[in-house]
Structure 1
Amino acid sequence: MTSATSLFSPVDADLRLLTENLKQLVGARHPILYAAAEYLFGAGGKRLRPAIVLLVAKATMPGGEITQKHRRLAEITEMIHTASLVHDDVIDESELRRGVPTVNSSFGNRVAVLAGDFLFAQSSWYLANLDNLAVVKLLSEVIRDFAEGEIQQGLNRFDASLSIEAYLEKSYYKTASLMANSAKAAAILSGASETVAQQLYEYGRHLGLAFQIVDDILDFTASSDALGKPAGSDLRSGNLTAPALFAMEEKPYLETLIEREFAEEDDLEQAMALIQDSRGIERSRQLAQDHAQQAMQCLNDLPASDCRQALLELCNYALSRQH
């Protein structure tokens, strides 16, 4: 299977520079926050979101030259993403992410919340300094969407009446909004037409939804070692995702187990078995595939280049990854 890292080869040097810059942007004035940030940015993430920004920048700029504003946008994108992960881990009481201890388990909830707030604040400050109101509006919307998605997820725990549409809306807020709005922002910084900028927004939206659906499938199909967190953890916490929602249409007893919040012994194991025995996972894969194909179609108007090819291959990578 193609790795994310090999897909990013057209912007490989730019991503290495980004990792160094991120540590500088956080600043060393607060040793504990700096330690938390250094720890985060060194945690071996895929750098998927800044890579998309840089690939879009090169694909839409004459001669493929990335500007300093594009680089800063990529850094801001990763800071916003990382801040959201820190807060997610506090809310979910997660002890591991990507197989390493979370900020909250290493530094405590108080520092983790402050580290997330600090990263959001730093990203907002650097965003304002891009001096591009359209881009500021797009990325500010992402920060609002994160909060909206987290609130929706909290309110809908163990809600067996949740629709696929509501699940996709929450998935947009929590995952796809950042990919969509940052891709569009990169195109705007390149001076691309409104049509191209909007197509790149749609590319990010569909790719983000495909990624989230595959993530939700892996929660049922991948091992705890591959996930870097316990398998079935979403279901256990009452976060109902596509495989469970589709499975409920075939297995009515699953709804009973969910509504009593797996209160009885073996409830969770029974629920996992019912999902595995249904077409829930298969239908979820089809849904992810539909969104990946729509993402690919959004790139039709971009001129041929290594970066456009990488953006296309990311859609296949989203479907085939194992963690």
Structure 2
Amino acid sequence: MSLPREILTALEQVRELLQNVGKSVEPRSLRDVIRYYIETPGKLLRPILLLTFSYSLDRKSIFETKIIQAAAIVELLHIVSLLQDDVMDKHDERRGVKTPRALYGDGRSIVASDWIIAESIKRALQLGPEVVEYLADVAQRLSIGQALDLDGEYKKAAEFKTAPLIEATLVLPIILLGRRELFDTATKLGRLLGILYQYSDDYSDEKREKDDMVNIAIEIKKMLMKLKSTLGETFTPFERLIKGIIEKALEGTLTPSRSFIS
């Protein structure tokens, strides 16, 4: 799916910011794990969501340092979740590529995730205490999701394992751009998108019925209509992105997909 040129330009700025993360860390054995998923990036779904939603709120905002930084932070926290998930589920491969735990061991993967969490906190401090507090809550909910997943509580885990960080991609722009009147709507939409993403992942692993995703998709479309009535035509790129995500989720091609942009 295509995105406005401004969003793609901002996304490149996020990539450049991420490319400098951990470059000077010693020892080399730790640096290699920290940078592994940075140097082999996935879809960058979370930065794309954050930038596109920011564009809908204020088209000029996506070039602001605070928005670029927020997009980098959500991707760093996503990398943390990948490193930890690899260890807990004993993944030797992810999307056909060797995982850090397979190459460097479980211990280094956990230590690397700790380093990236600390780096994320440092960056979040630049955005203010409210952002730090919110992201701390996100991290706690992600931990609950992982614990529920380990307990085999897959339905409950769907609300925590992926949803909080995708929710953050909509809530952070609300906080940073001062659009408090949209906080509740953005929070709910972000959470629903996260649940849809987790359901899609589970569906590809044959743990989830497609009807669950259809019901979530209906709720997401209702939220999109509500936001569009407020934001008008500037909301179109985000609406188009979300509808594309829904389509891929229902096809079963969302999580295996390597890219969302053309």
Q: Give the shorter-chain TM-score range.
A: 0.7 to 0.9
SS for the counterpart of 2:145 is: helix
Task: Indicate whether 1:54 and 2:51 are aligned.
Answer: yes
The percent of aligned pairs where both chains have the same amino acid is: 23
Contact 2:162-2:194 at 8 Å conserved across structures: yes
Runs of 4+ in 1 over 6 A off after TM superposition: none
Match of 1:302 among 231, 251, 257: 231
Alpha-carbon separation, structure 2, partners of 1:60 and 1:145: 26
In 2 relative to 1, CA 209–314 (structure 1 residues): closer, same or farther, beyond 3 Å? Answer: farther
Contact 1:202–1:298 under 8 Å retained in 2 = no
Are the structure 2 counterparts of residues 58 and 105 from structure 1 closer, same or farther at C-alpha, using a change threshold of 3 Å? Answer: same
| Normalised TM-score (structure 1) | 0.71
Q: 2:139 aligns with which of 143, 154, 163?
A: 143
Deviations 1:13-63 (A, max 9, x none): 221221221131324222223322332113241111011111222222264
CA contact (8 A) 1:57 1:186 kept: yes
Check if 1:187 corresponds to 2:187.
no
1:1-323 residue pairs with structure 2 within 5 A?
2=1, 6-7=2-3, 9-30=5-26, 31-61=28-58, 63-64=60-61, 66-130=63-127, 132-155=128-151, 157=152, 167=155, 169-192=156-179, 194-220=180-206, 241=207, 243=208, 280-281=209-210, 283-300=211-228, 301-305=230-234, 308-321=235-248, 322=253, 323=256
Q: Give the direction of change, closer, same or farther, for the CA distance of 1:145–1:37 in structure 2 (3 Å limit).
A: same
Find the aligned partners of 1:105 and 1:8 in 2 and give their Cα distance. 38
Q: Distance in 2 between matches of 1:292 and 1:43?
A: 31
**Structure 2 unaligned spans of 5+:** 257-262
Q: Deviations for 1:99-141, whole angstroms, at most 9, x for unmatched residues?
A: 21111011111111111111111101111222x2222221111
Q: Separation in 1 of the partners of 2:148 and 2:171? A: 25
- CA 1:314 to 1:210, structure 2 compared with 1: closer, same or farther past 3 Å? farther
**Which residue identity is paired with 1:320?**
E
Aligned Cα RMSD in Å? 2.1
Q: Which amino acid aligns with 2:25?
A: R
How many pairs were matched up?
Answer: 248
Larger Rg over CA atoms: 1
